[in-house]
Amino acid sequence: MKHPSSRELFQYWTALRGHRPAPERDEVDPGALRKVLGDSFVLTYDSRNGHPFRLAGTRLCGLFCRELKGASFLDLWDGASRPMAESLVEGVADEVSGMVVGVLAETATEPPLPLELLLLPLAHRMSVHARMIGVLAPLQTPYWIGIEPVQRLGLGTFRNLSPRIAPSLVPTIPERRGRPALVVLEGGRTD
């Protein structure tokens, strides 16, 4: 994960989840995510309506120069990327695993803008086919946010954040007790 908002949301989601596949949606505290709220969103799992946005942050809406609440998540994608974006959403819910995705945003006049998408499942009464939380943020903030709307998104590379594959991408800092230990690593030249 490259974007700080993605890392912070993933760290929060992982801590909230504990040993469960996904945290309950009612457990998410917006106050704990205040730094990333502008880049974050919540989707309703509803394939018939393109998985509409239930909530969308101000910076995310600024990228598209419009309010995204109620808009279809799948309608943001270009024709070639839409089926794969739909498969990613389905995979996050079915496998109860997160995805981090490289995205290219296209406008009418500006060069393509690299974005990072993080999509994580939320449970509701033990069902993971209800809501998803995520972040969609530019890797560099363009000067044209709020002026030039993103017209479509293109899918790039993606990585599964399954607990089976990556139990946690959040680094843990071991507690230091006593004196530091000396570790000798073999290496050096062999002649």
In the chain, where are the structural domains located? 4-161
Global confidence as pTM: 0.81
Q: Please say if the pLDDT value at position 118 is more than 60.
A: yes
- What is each CA distance from 140 to 2, 112, 113, 167, in whole angstroms? 11, 11, 8, 29
Q: Please say if the pLDDT value at position 14 is more than 60.
A: yes
Mean pLDDT of 19-42: 92
The second-level CATH assignment, the architecture, of 4-161 is: 2-Layer Sandwich (3.30)
Q: Please say if the pLDDT value at position 184 is more than 50.
A: yes
Question: Cα angle at 106 between 104 and 152, to 5 degrees?
Answer: 90
pLDDT given for residue 169 in this prediction:
42
